[in-house]
Amino acid sequence: MKKLFYLITLSILLISCGEDDPYSFSIDAKNGNDIERVVKFNISSKIIDSLKIDKLDLIKMADYAARYADFNVKNELTYDFRNSENELNMIYISDNRIKVSVKGKADNSFGVTGKLTSIVAFDIETKEVIKDKNDLPEVMTIDF
């Protein structure tokens, strides 16, 4: 009986370890102080199910977005990622573009920490970042 229990338990563990959530992943990214953080992303089901975009392309986009998340922050050295279950970093479709939102926080000029969300847009066909007229990435930052 014990052997059967161990066999069933081992089977469940192997099955659950083999499953990979197709709608989320994590990357390592550096904050403003060059400290590496784990940043989690959730993916809109439309991107995976309908558009069939490869997860490796999405990981590259998330990595790029995390690198430029502090692009519009006044005090870049104070920038850090927010990773809570209530505040999700998302990859989604909007305005016929793939958009990657990265949640963060940074200090303002008075030393007060504020929440912000940076959104980086990518071309839906080429998977390349959308750039402005100065050939810089188009990053929209929203302060809360």
Confidence of residue 1 (pLDDT cuts 50, 70, 90): low
Are 101 and 107 spatial neighbours (Cβ–Cβ below 8 Å)? no
pLDDT above 60 for 136: yes
Domain tally for the chain?
1
pLDDT digits (tens, 9 = 90+) for 72-103: 998 899 999 998 777 889 999 999 999 999 99
Q: Which domain holds residue 114?
A: 21-143
More confident residue, 141 or 13: 141
Residue 86 lies in a domain: yes
pLDDT above 50 for 10: no
Residue 115 lies in a domain: yes
Residue 85 lies in a domain: yes
What pTM does this model have?
0.82
Q: For residue 64, what pLDDT is reported? A: 96
Residue 11 lies in a domain: no
Side-chain-side CA neighbours of 132 within 13 Å: the count stands at 7
Q: How far is CA 31 from CA 42, 43, 64, 111, 139, in A?
A: 20, 22, 13, 17, 17
Residue 6 lies in a domain: no
**SS3 assignment, position 94:** strand
